[in-house]
């Protein structure tokens, strides 16, 4: 009997222990769930704890894991869609040929609508749903949707865009979102570790993190935008990463990933990000004014080459040469002249024309700046009161074109370039003459007519076109409402395009 009592006690004790253990397990599960929910709902507290943890570590011991955990929730997926009108036939038929055919012949050549979808990334920069991304991610989009950190997809609206820097600000109607704080892009050093975060190739790969170093600063990569001051990195950036974050080892935003240099279209070790200081300035102006307000000199400039530097008596190429001064501009009022070599602004040396453009653009209209200028072999100082940069200036509006530079016919919305041997070989136009279309403005007369980049213009109103000067001469004197007949080649095919000069 005594044994039975002991057995009963033991069994009861075991059951109690099992029950207690189960209760602890269940309680732990609920505690874990509650902790997860709290961490999700109180992201700022978690990030504050992470900040403290990072601050307590020596720089060399800060890990990619901690920085990734801190920053990836604030990088979102941006999906865009727009409807474009496409021509079924490659070339439009001129009106003078239509009278030889009945209407059925042209029935299958009517424009059709096609939906184009885009994928990119964005960075939440405050908890109230403001997102920074690239202009080319959302440009001309009819609808924009954002996939948030909790996998919800919500609609977004465009606050403002800035094609001159390839930046845009969009907003979602959400509060309490995780965000990344701005870092000082001027303070980062070549060789410093950085992480790139985005959605390469597919939404299924969102929150991809890649590591690399800052390879160089102050890069210009000829993206046909005005303000180029890129951070170069070897952290892997691929299609879909555009608009994503480049962060330093403190988890601060130091760049917006924008473009890669590659012969294949995929990452090959050279990527570029827009510096955070420039991005912050553009963002704040878009939020406050709906546009970017920049300083303006009103000059056309170019960089010095070794040959030009030698001719000017310089020991090395530096500064920006004034090629032209706009009538009535701040530069003209201050006395700048063609041939002046700008070597410094407010005491800071100018390395090239892009450097001067960036510095002036970062200043406010009305600012007084001192230009150190070399004129006729001697130094002089000129004070200029900056104006506001006109919104209708094309990309590179203060930078002089090179021998292969572009000429824009604003009314029709096309950009052309001389047919060089290299371009002719690449596009298959050997032994041809004309000018190559290198840019078509979205929504322009040229785009609606079906003209595309890469087409070769050989005639305008039956006149042969052999150079950009011929092109400009043919355009000169046209009035609103005039019809212009282009003969164009696209590879081996040729055809006519009729365009009407718009009224505005």
Euclidean distance between CA atoms 310 and 305, whole angstroms: 8
Contacts of 230 (CB under 8 A, 6+ apart): 218, 219, 220, 221, 258, 259, 272, 273, 274, 275
Euclidean distance between CA atoms 430 and 185, whole angstroms: 45
The encoded tokens of residue 192 equal 């410093």
- How many angstroms separate the most distant Cα atoms in the chain? 121
Torsion-angle region of 389 (φ positive above 0: left; ψ -120 to 50: alpha; else: beta): beta
Give the DSSP per-residue string, 198-244: E--SSGGGTTEEEEEEEEEEEE----S-S---EEEE-S---TT-TT-
Write down the pLDDT at residue 11: 38
Beta strands in 334-426 (DSSP E): 341-345, 348-349, 368-375, 378-385, 387-388, 407-409, 414-418
Write down the pLDDT at residue 31: 38
Catalytic residues: 136, 166, 242
Over the chain (504 residues), the average pLDDT of each successive run of 10 is 42 36 34 41 66 62 81 94 60 48 50 73 95 91 91 94 93 94 95 93 86 93 81 91 94 94 78 96 93 90 82 86 86 91 94 92 94 90 93 51 42 82 81 87 83 89 84 80 84 79 73
The encoded tokens of residue 74 equal 């604030």
**Under 8 Å between Cβ of 369 and 392:** no
- What Cα–Cα distance (Å) separates residue 259 from each residue in 77, 226, 262, 274, 349? 17, 15, 10, 9, 28
Euclidean distance between CA atoms 141 and 78, whole angstroms: 11
Euclidean distance between CA atoms 142 and 237, whole angstroms: 26
Euclidean distance between CA atoms 133 and 79, whole angstroms: 12
Write down the pLDDT at residue 483: 79
Token pair 């009305």 is found at: 366
The encoded tokens of residue 476 equal 């000169």
**Under 8 Å between Cβ of 257 and 198:** yes
Write down the pLDDT at residue 446: 86
This prediction's pTM:
0.64
**Residue 121 forms beta bridges with which residues?**
77
Euclidean distance between CA atoms 501 and 460, whole angstroms: 13
Write down the pLDDT at residue 98: 47
**Residue 117 forms beta bridges with which residues?**
81
Pick from 197, 202, 206: which is nearest to 271 by CA? 197
Do β-strands 295-296 and 407-409 pair in parallel, antiparallel, or remain unpaired? unpaired
Q: Is residue 352 classed as helix, strand or coil in its secondary structure?
A: coil
The encoded tokens of residue 105 equal 């012949």
Write down the pLDDT at residue 401: 41
């Amino acid at each position: 009997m005594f044994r039975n009592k002991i057995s009963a006690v033991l069994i009861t004790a075991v059951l109690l222990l099992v029950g207690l253990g189960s209760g602890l397990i269940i309680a732990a599960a609920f505690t874990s769930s509650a902790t997860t929910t709290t961490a999700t709902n109180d992201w700022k507290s978690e990030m504050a704890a992470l900040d403290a943890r990072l601050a307590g570590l020596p720089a060399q011991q800060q890990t990619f894991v901690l920085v990734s955990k801190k920053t990836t929730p604030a990088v979102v997926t941006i999906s865009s869609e727009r409807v474009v009108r496409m021509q079924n036939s490659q070339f439009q038929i001129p009106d003078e040929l239509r009278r030889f055919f009945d209407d059925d012949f042209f029935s299958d050549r009517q424009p059709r609508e096609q939906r184009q979808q885009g994928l990119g990334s964005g960075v939440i920069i405050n908890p109230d749903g403001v997102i920074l991304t690239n202009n080319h991610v959302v440009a001309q989009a009819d609808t924009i949707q954002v996939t948030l950190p909790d996998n919800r997809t919500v609609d977004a609206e465009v606050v403002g865009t800035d094609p001159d820097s390839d930046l845009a600000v969009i907003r979602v109607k959400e509060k309490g979102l995780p965000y990344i704080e701005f870092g000082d892009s001027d303070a980062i050093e070549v060789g410093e570790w950085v992480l790139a975060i985005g959605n390469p190739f597919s939404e299924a790969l969102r929150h991809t993190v890649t590591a690399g170093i800052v390879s160089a600063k102050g890069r210009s990569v000829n993206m046909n935008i005005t303000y180029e001051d890129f951070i170069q990195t070897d952290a892997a950036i691929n299609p879909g990463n555009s608009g994503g974050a480049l962060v330093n080892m403190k988890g601060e935003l130091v760049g917006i990933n924008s473009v890669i240099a590659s012969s294949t279209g995929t990452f090959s070790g050279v990527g570029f990000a827009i510096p955070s200081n420039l991005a912050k300035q553009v963002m704040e102006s878009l939020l406050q004014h709906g546009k970017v307000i920049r300083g303006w000199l009103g000059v056309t400039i170019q960089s010095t080459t070794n040959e030009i530097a030698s001719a000017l008596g310089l020991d090395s190429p530096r500064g920006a040469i004034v090629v032209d001064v706009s009538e009535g501009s701040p530069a003209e009022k201050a006395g700048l002249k063609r041939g002046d070599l700008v070597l410094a602004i407010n005491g800071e040396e100018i390395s090239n024309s892009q450097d001067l453009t960036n510095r002036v653009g970062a200043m406010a209209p009305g600012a007084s700046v001192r230009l150190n200028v070399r004129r006729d072999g001697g130094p002089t100082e000129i004070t200029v009161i900056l104006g506001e940069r006109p919104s209708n200036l094309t990309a590179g509006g203060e930078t002089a074109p090179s021998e292969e530079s572009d000429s824009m016919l604003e009314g029709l919305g096309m950009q052309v370039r001389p047919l060089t041997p290299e371009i002719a070989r690449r596009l298959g136009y050997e032994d041809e003459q004309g000018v190559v279309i290198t840019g078509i403005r979205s929504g322009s007369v040229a785009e609606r007519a079906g003209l595309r980049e890469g087409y070769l213009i050989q005639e305008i109103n039956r006149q042969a076109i052999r150079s950009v000067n011929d092109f400009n001469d043919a355009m000169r004197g046209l009035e609103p409402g005039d019809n212009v007949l282009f003969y164009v080649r696209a590879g081996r095919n040729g055809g006519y395009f009729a365009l009407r000069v718009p009224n505005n």
